[in-house]
Chain A
Amino acid sequence: MSKPENKNENNNNVGKQLPDSPADTSRRSLLKGAGLLGAAVAGSSSTIIAQETNSTEPSARELEALEVLTAVEAEILEALCEVLIPTDENGPGAREARAAHYIDRSLSSHNEEYREDYFVSLNAINEFAQRNYNNSFARLRRSQQDSLVAALQNDEVAGCSPGSAAFFSLVRSHTIDGTFCDPYYGGNRDFVGWDLLRYPGVRLSASADDVAAGASLVPTHQSAYDNSSYTKQPDSRNRESGEDISHD
C-alpha cells in the first residue's frame, strides 16, 4: 500500500493551522528564507549561511554573491530595472525591491532557460549606449536611459536575444516578478512592491470583514515562509533558539 501513514495526522493539523497566526514574523526569519534559497540554488551555501548568522541587514547585502551575471552585467540590469520601475514620488521601485538580485538568482533556477538572452542582450544594450551616448548604460543620464529603453521596446537595439522588443518584454516581466514576488525569492525587499500595489499581504485566511476592508487592511508584511508549516523545519522552536536550519 502506498497510502501515506501521516494522512490522518495531516487532517488533524489542518484544524490547528486555521487561525491566521504565523509562528514567526521576525525580520530574521525572512533573511533565513532568503538564505535557504541561496543554498538550494547555489549548491554551496557557506557564504550565505555565514551572512545570516551575523544578520544585520547592510552586511547581509554586501556579502551576497552574484549567482549568474557578471559584475558589469549586474550593473546594467540594476539600472535597467530602475528605469522600468523607478523610484519616484510614488515611493520605492525596483531598485529598493532588489528586482535585479531576484533576476540574477532566478537565472540559475526557474529562469535558467533565459540566461543566454540576458548575457547577450545586456551587453548589446551597453554597446548601444557606448555607440550612441559614449558611456555605459548604468552611467547614462536618466533621460538617456529612458530613450534607450524606449528604443529597446521599439525593437531598435541590435544584437539582443531573442530580439530587442522580445528582450524588453522578458526583462519587464522578470522585473515585475522581482518587485512583487514573495520576499523569499530575494526581491520585494521590505514589501515595497506589495505596498506599492496596496496589496495587504499574504494571509492564510481572509474573513468577509477582511475583504470588505480592502486596501485599508493593515498589511501583514509576511512571507509565505514566515508560516513554519511551509518551511523545511516546521518546529518554530529551532528558529527561536537561533539554531542553524540550513544544514539539512
Chain B
Amino acid sequence: MTETLPKTDVVIVGMGAAGGVAALPLTSAGLKVIGLEAGGWLDPRDFAPDEIRYMQRNWPMTVQKAAREAPTVRASANDVARQGGHPMMNAVGGTTMHYWAQSWRLNPWDFQVVSATESRYGQSRLPAGTTVEDWPFGYDELEPYYDKVEYSVGISGQAGNVQGRINSAGNIFEGPRQREYPMRALRSSPFTDLMSKAATELGWNPFQGPAAITSELYDGRPPCQYHGFCNKGGCHVQSKSSTAFTTIPKALDTGNLDVVPFARVTEVLVDKSGRTTGVAYVKGSETFVQPADIVLLASYAYENVRLLLLSKSDAYPNGLANNSGQVGSHYLSHHQGAPVTALFPRDLHNWYGLPAQGVAIDEWADDNFDHTGLDFIGGANLWVHTDRKPISAAKMSTFGEAANWGSQWKAFIRQNADRSNMSYIQKTTLPYEDNYLDLDPVVKDAYGLPVIRITARYRDNEKKIAAFAQDKMEQWYRQAGATKVIKSGLGNAMGATTHAYGGTRMGDDSETNVVDRWGLTHEVPNLGILGASVMGTSGARNPTLTVQALSWRTAEYIVDNFQSLTS
C-alpha cells in the first residue's frame, strides 16, 4: 500500500552538501520544500575523538545506504566490473559531516578549457578522445554564488584576488572575488610554516587554503579546536561548516522546510506529457509518493545517474531525461591519487591538525604555467597538510629502512611516527568517450535494484600531469629537508570516489548535455540536478564549494521562474 502525501512546491532528494544548500534560497523565498534524506540526524555528541569508530568501523551510527549500493568498477569494457567501497555517507548534512572541508573556487581556466587551450596552444593540444566542452558560462557568472555560499556556510581562507587587487598571501591565480573571505584562514603550524618557507625559497607562492571550517567564532559556532580527528571525523564543536549545522537549520527556521530522515527514494515519477510529478520513496516498510511541482536530485553523482536510469517510462524508455543517451556520459573520477610521501629527520608536530590546515601551491595547476614545451594540458594543485592519528601513523611506510614488523620496525615507528607526510595532489581530469556510468547488469542493492557500474580509466594526459606534479612535489619536500621521498603509481582505473563528476553534464547543447545552464534537465523542464554530476571539468581542487554555488544558483533560478517552470 503506497500512501500519496500532500503536494509540495519542491522536493529535494538528498540533504547533503548540495541539497542542504539549495534548501535555503528556496525556503527563504517562501517555497515549501520537502527534503528527503536516506540517513538521520547526528549531533556533536556523536563525534568522539575515536579513530576506530571513524576509520575501521566506518561510522556505525549512520545508515550505510551508500555502502550497500557501492558501484562496480572496471577500467574498460573488456574488464570484469568488481564491487568496491563507497566513500560517501548518509545523514542530514551528507558527507559534509566528515569531509576534509577544503572549499575552493574553481579557477577561471576550468570553465573554458577548450577555448582557452585553443587560443593559447591550438586545438591539437586537446587529448584524443576527450569530450570536454567549455562550461556554458564563465567564472564571473558563478562568482556571486560562490560569495553567497562562502558567507552562508562559513568559509575561512586568505583571498588572493579581491576585485583585481592581487595579494600574494592568497592564491594569486584565483579569479577576482568581490570581497575577502568571511573568516581568516586556519592558523598555520610548525609543519606548514616549514613547507611555506621551502616553497618561497623555490620562488613559488605558498598560501593557506580555504576551508569550510571556522577559524574564529562565526554564526554562533566556535572556532576549530585542532584536535586531530577531523579527517573522516565529525566535528565535536560544530566548527566544520556542514550543511547540517549551517544552511539546513537556517532553512528550517523559515518554517518552509520539512526534512524526512531515513527516506530512500526509488523512482522519479512522470506523467504522460513527460513532466515529473514527484518521487516515490521507502521509509521503514512503507512506501510513499511525494508529489511536487519541482523535483531536485541531490543524491551524489552515482545516485543521481542511477535514479534517472532506473526511472523508465513510456516518455523516457531509456531512463529519465535520457532520450539523448547522455545520462552517464562524460563521467570522471578526480585524479587525486599518485601521492608523494616524504620522511623528515625531525618531528613535524602534526598530531593535532587537520587535512584542511595546509599549504597550497597553485603554480603548476590548470594553465597557470606555460605548456608550450609539454605534452599535456592542465596541471595539479600541490597540497600538504597537518593530519595524523596513532593507528594510521603506525601504518606508515618504512621507506625501505626497516622490516614492517618486529623490534626493528618498532624502533623505526618510535622514532618516525611524527616524521612522515603524504601530499595531496589534485589534477585536471578530463572526460573521455569511453569513460561512463551505467547500470550494472548483475550486481543489485538490497532492494534488488542494479547498482552503478563505473567504466573508466585515466589516460595519458592525467598520467603525465601526475608524473609532472610528483617531480614538483619531490622538489618541494627536498627543499624542506626531507631525506626520503616515495612516489606512488600514476593510476589506471577510476574507482568510486568522493570527487565524482559528470553523468548529467551541464551545457547549452542538449545533444551532449543532460542539464541546461540553470541545472534543469533539457528534456524535463521541472526536474533539476544538483551536485558535481553537472560539472564537465574537474579543476585541480575540491569540488564541494562549486557544487554548492551551482546549487544556490539553480535554486535561485527556480525561485525567480517558479510560475513558468511549473505551468
Contacts and interface: CB of A to CB of B under 8 A. Distances in A.
9 contacts: A1-B258, A3-B252, A14-B44, A110-B52, A172-B405, A184-B50, A194-B390, A203-B352, A215-B347
Interface string B35-58: 000000101110111111000111
A35 to B, nearest CB: 17
Interface of B: 41, 43-45, 47-52, 56-58, 60, 187, 189-190, 220-222, 225-228, 236-238, 249, 252, 258-261, 347, 349, 351-353, 390-391, 393-395, 404-407, 409-411, 413-414, 417-418
Interface in A42-74: none
A106 B56 CA distance: 10
Contacts of A234: 45
Contacts of B220: 11
A234 B394 CA distance: 32
Contact of A181 (B52, B189, B407): B52
B43 A10 contact: yes
Given A110-B56, A149-B405, A15 B222 contact: yes
Given A90-B407, A176-B394, A180-B391, A204 B49 contact: yes
Given A2-B260, A198-B414, A211-B189, 4 more contacts: A1-B258, A196-B414, A197-B413, A211-B351
Contacts of A229: 44-45, 236
Nearest to A18: B222
A130 interface: no
Q: Is the contact region of chain A dominated by helix, strand, or loop, or is it mixed?
A: helix
A243 interface: no
B353 A211 contact: yes
Given A177-B52, A204-B236, A86 B259 contact: no
Nearest to B238: A14
Contacts of B413: 196-197
A17 B351 contact: no
Contacts of A11: 220-221, 238
A200 interface: yes
B387 to A, nearest CB: 12
Given A176-B394, A212-B349, A215-B418, A230 B410 contact: no
A129 interface: no
Contacts of B47: 230
A38 interface: no
Contacts of A208: 187, 189
B252 A181 contact: no
B407 A225 contact: no
Q: Is the contact region of chain B dominated by helix, strand, or loop, or is it mixed?
A: loop
Interface string A85-115: 1101110010000000000001001110000
Given A84-B406, A90-B411, A199-B417, A206 B50 contact: no
Given A14-B221, A224-B49, A193 B351 contact: no
A90 B410 contact: yes
Given A14-B222, A15-B222, A206-B227, A181 B410 contact: no
Given A180-B391, A208-B187, A10 B44 contact: yes
Given A14-B222, A14-B237, A90-B414, A197 B405 contact: no
A110 B56 CA distance: 7
B352 A1 contact: no
B406 A198 contact: no
B386 to A, nearest CB: 8
A177 B391 contact: yes
A23 interface: no
A146 B403 CA distance: 12
Contact of A206 (B56, B57, B352, B394): B352
B260 A181 contact: no
A128 interface: no
A233 B410 CA distance: 38
B57 A110 contact: yes
A204 B225 contact: yes
Contacts of B261: 2
Given A197-B393, A204-B225, A214-B347, A88 B352 contact: no
Nearest to B45: A229
A184 to B, nearest CB: 7
A12 B48 CA distance: 18
A140 interface: no
A185 B391 CA distance: 13
Contacts of A170: none
Nearest to A146: B406
Nearest to A194: B390
Nearest to B249: A7
Contacts of A181: 51-52, 390-391
A202 B258 contact: no
A110 B391 CA distance: 16
A111 B353 CA distance: 28
A247 to B, nearest CB: 20
A185 B52 contact: yes
A1 B258 CA distance: 5
A149 B407 CA distance: 13
Contacts of B221: 11, 14
Contact of B227 (A6, A184, A199, A203): A203
Contact of B50 (A4, A172, A224): A224
A29 interface: no
A173 interface: yes
A211 B225 CA distance: 11
B111 to A, nearest CB: 37
Contacts of B404: 172
A85 B410 contact: yes
B48 A205 contact: no
Nearest to A188: B390
Given A149-B405, A215-B347, A110 B60 contact: yes
Interface in A215-242: 215, 224-225, 227, 229-230, 234
Nearest to B390: A180
6 closest residue pairs by CB, A with B? A206-B352, A230-B48, A205-B225, A197-B417, A224-B48, A214-B349
A214 B388 CA distance: 12
Contact of A88 (B50, B258, B407): B407
A116 interface: no
Contacts of A176: 391, 394-395
A17 B43 CA distance: 14
Given A1-B252, A90-B407, A200 B351 contact: yes
Contacts of B50: 182, 184, 224-225, 230
